[in-house]
């Protein structure tokens, strides 16, 4: 039984590396439920029974990077590539706005066509058309100056998962052209520039150990991101990790709960990957302490081309269907969708 460690995390909001390792490598179903109950209570005390929704527009699957786990990596020659126009992106947001979305997440591969100037122009246009909405960018690593210009254009938030806090592990997941140090610098720059900043990692990525996850949890506790994206690793058939096993569903839920206990006010999505490895994943994620859901607003025609991993859900459903489906799913567990912007309301910088 690890209830004592969960209580300690709740009281002190941190654990030592060895305590984290113990908790992560050896937990029972009872521990997991204990953490989920505690996390759900904390989440309800901060957010009520309201779930924030973010509409994701996957605007390009062209990527200069070659992350070994990712289906849209440069070396995947099987994939047909696409890039939405500014008008198409804005039309996704228009649809989304009608369905009640007040946050748009613009996500893409690292596509050189979307220079800072072009991206800033799109951000400005969206902010002008929808002044009541937040714009979140998720388009990878850039230099500080670039991030600063996007912030000046009106972008409110930025998602960049750190992927792993362990440098050696990072190097097993990425080609040598990418650097862990630069990734971490990007995150510090983003936060420093005033973005609401999201970090996060896959659970069960190849070569990940309990020690890696312990380092991730310590990193999150020190860095204090405003948002944390956690999802299971799921292999993609056209990547070098095609034969690696998926991450554990139970461990993902457990870590969601531990993140909520550690950072009560953090914005914590029940991710699409969690919904992909289990049909009730998003509901159970919410019941384990998550408070955000991020459905897809991309045009139906391109959805199957933004396959980061195999069998990704919601690639055949119109945005309106997803919106209704989520509404029902949340109602089924006693929650309501919130149509507010859902900004980070905590006190930490
Ligand atoms: N399985 C699960 N998540 C993945 N991501 C990329 N590839 C996979 C995969 N095979 C996640 C990464 C990235 C985010 C956009 O999607 O963590 O940061
Ligand atoms: Fe997309 Fe259910 S959320 S179909």
CA atoms within 13 A on the CB side of 271: 25
| CA distance readout (Å), 262 to 85, 164, 224, 258 | 41, 18, 10, 6
Lowest mean pLDDT among 10-19, 206-215, 308-317: 308-317
- 292 touches 52 (CB < 8 A): yes
**Per the domain annotation, does 56 fall within a domain?**
yes
Inside any domain, residue 180:
yes
Question: Has residue 317 got a pLDDT over 60?
Answer: yes
Q: 346 in a domain, yes or no?
A: no
In a domain, 142, yes or no: yes
Please report the beta strands in the chain, taking only residues with DSSP state E, as ranges in sequence order: 50-53, 55-60, 103-108, 134-138, 157-159, 196-203, 227-232, 292-293, 336-338
Domain that holds residue 233: 23-336
Residue 85, classed as helix, strand or coil, is coil
pLDDT at 319: 87
Instruction: Note the pLDDT of residue 178.
Output: 98
CA 227-74-322 angle, to 5 degrees, is 45
> 88: which DSSP letter?
H
Cα(316) to centroid of ligand 2, in Å? 9
Confidence at residue 46, expressed as pLDDT on a 0 to 100 scale: 97
Domain assignment present for 55: yes
- What lies within 8 Å, CB to CB, of 143 at 6+ separation is none
Q: Closest Cα to residue 33, out of 60, 63, 6, 57? A: 6
Within-domain flag for 14: no
Q: What's the full length of the chain, in residues?
A: 349
Expressed in angstroms and rounded, the spacing between residue 194 Cα and the centre of ligand 2 is: 32
270 C-alpha to center of ligand 2: Å?
13
Residue 128 lies in a domain: yes
Q: For ligand 2, pick from 317, 320, 323 the residue to mutate: most ligand atoms within 8 Å of CB.
A: 317
Ligand 1 nearest-atom number relative to CA 235: 10
pLDDT grade, residue 347 (50/70/90)?
low
What are the tens digits of pLDDT across the range 157-206? 999 999 999 999 999 999 999 999 999 999 999 999 999 999 999 999 99
* Measured CA distances, 14 to 31, 314, 328 (Å): 17, 36, 36
Q: Give the pocket of ligand 2 (CB within 6 Å).
A: 295, 314, 317, 321-322, 325-326
Whose CA is closest to atom 14 on ligand 1?
161
Is 41 part of a structural domain of the chain?
yes
Question: 313: domain CATH number?
Answer: 3.20.20.70
Q: What was the pLDDT predicted at 66?
A: 98
How many domains does the structure of the chain reveal? 1
Q: What is the pLDDT of residue 212?
A: 98
pTM across the whole model: 0.97
């Amino acid at each position: 039984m690890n209830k004592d460690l969960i209580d300690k995390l709740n009281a002190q909001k941190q654990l030592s590396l060895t305590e984290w390792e113990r908790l992560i490598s050896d937990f029972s179903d009872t521990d997991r439920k204990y953490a989920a109950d505690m996390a759900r209570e904390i989440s309800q005390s901060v957010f009520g029974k309201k779930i924030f929704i973010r509409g994701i527009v996957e605007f390009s699957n062209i990527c200069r990077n070659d992350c070994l786990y990712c289906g849209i990596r440069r070396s995947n020659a099987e994939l047909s590539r696409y890039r939405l126009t500014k008008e198409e992106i804005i039309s996704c947001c228009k649809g989304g706005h009608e369905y009640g979305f007040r946050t748009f997440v613009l996500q893409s591969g690292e596509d050189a066509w979307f220079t800072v100037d072009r991206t800033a122009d799109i951000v400005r246009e969206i902010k002008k058309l929808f002044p009541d909405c937040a714009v979140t960018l998720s388009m990878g690593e850039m230099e500080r100056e670039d991030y600063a210009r996007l912030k000046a254009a009106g972008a409110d938030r930025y998602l960049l998962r750190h992927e792993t806090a362990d440098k050696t592990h990072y190097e097993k997941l990425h080609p040598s052209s990418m650097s862990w140090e630069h990734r971490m610098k990007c995150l510090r720059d983003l936060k420093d520039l005033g973005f609401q900043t999201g970090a996060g990692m896959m659970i069960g990525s190849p070569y990940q150990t309990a020690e890696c996850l312990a380092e991730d949890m310590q990193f999150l506790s020190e860095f204090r991101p405003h948002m944390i994206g956690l999802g299971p690793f799921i292999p993609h058939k056209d990547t070098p990790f095609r034969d690696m096993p998926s991450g554990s569903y139970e461990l993902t839920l457990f870590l969601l709960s531990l993140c909520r206990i550690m950072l009560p006010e953090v914005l914590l999505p029940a991710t699409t990957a969690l919904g992909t490895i289990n049909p009730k994943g998003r509901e159970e994620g919410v019941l384990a302490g998550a408070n955000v859901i991020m459905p897809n607003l991309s045009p139906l025609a391109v959805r199957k081309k933004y396959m980061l991993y195999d069998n990704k859900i919601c690639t055949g459903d119109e945005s309106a269907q997803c919106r209704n489906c989520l509404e029902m799913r949340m109602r089924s567990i006693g929650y309501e969708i919130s149509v507010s912007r859902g900004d980070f309301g905590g006190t930490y910088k």
